[in-house]
Amino acid sequence: MSDLPRLVPETSHQSSPHSQHDFSPSCPFCVIARTYGPISPLAAADGSLELDPDKLEPPSFVLYSSEHVIAFLDIMPLTRGHVLVAPRKHRVKVGDLSPDEGAESSTQNNADDHQIGRILPVLARSVIKAVMPDIPHEQADYNVVQNNGPGAAQVVPHVHFHIVPRPPLNYVTPPRPTSALKMKQYPPNAQPSGHKRTMILFGRGMRDDLDDDDAAVLVEDMRQCIKKEWAVSFSVKGEAEVSDSFKGHGGTRKGAWKV
């Protein structure tokens, strides 16, 4: 029997006041957030041991971890590269997010704030680049889905967004390394109809257990893509500048978790 913390699904979908319920010990996403503290995208891309997936059982493959947001691979993905993006603090429904946690924009000109609304486009581009490296973003298909409450198919009662890549039919992942890949033209995915359309629209369908060996490679590719996207999106020049943006008001945030 492993001594590692286990991720056990929580069942309550009731919202609670922020001050009373910033952390739920029975929530698997809260456990992941507490286990993996904030770390800059540059350090994460360099293979930091702080993001070791084996800190938890089952392993958790974290691709992004900031003061407000954490993103990790779904353990039962709909497609390869299915990612969950969640607030670090326990919020049941999207309407429970505070303005700071869900803000679309920052009052500053750099990456000092890492709210879901600000970082979700960066993560979406990074995930798609890692999963389909030879397809330009403008030609790639993917879902971003968010559910609130059991009647809306929310399984884990902690706000989370699904990023679900939708590669072309019979798509074959190119071999690594991908730095010298040429972009390819694939026939566009057909517009689904009927029941299949509904399943894709709401992020439903057949799920498989996450392949840990493939996940270890894929999450590293995602971190590298986030590093590159970060530099472009926020015009950061190096580790010092990025690390500064991951500090809280009381000093360094690296390796810590604030509730």
What pLDDT score was predicted for residue 210?
A: 95
What pLDDT score was predicted for residue 102?
A: 76
What pLDDT score was predicted for residue 71?
A: 98
In the structure encoding, which two tokens stand for residue 235, read together? 């015009």
Contacts of 202 (CB under 8 A, 6+ apart): 145, 147, 153
Per-10-residue mean pLDDT of the chain, 259 residues long, equals 53 54 94 97 93 97 96 96 97 91 52 75 98 95 96 95 94 77 69 61 69 96 96 71 51 30
Hey, what CATH topology would domain 18-245 get? HIT family, subunit A (3.30.428)
Contacts of 49 (CB under 8 A, 6+ apart): none
Distance CA 36, CA 17 (A): 24
Contacts of 99 (CB under 8 A, 6+ apart): none
What pLDDT score was predicted for residue 249?
A: 36
Domain extents in the chain: 18-245
Angle at alpha carbon of residue 229, lines to 184 and 76, rounded to 5°: 75
Q: Active site includes 160?
A: yes
Given the residues 90, 158, 160, 162, the one annotated as active site: 160
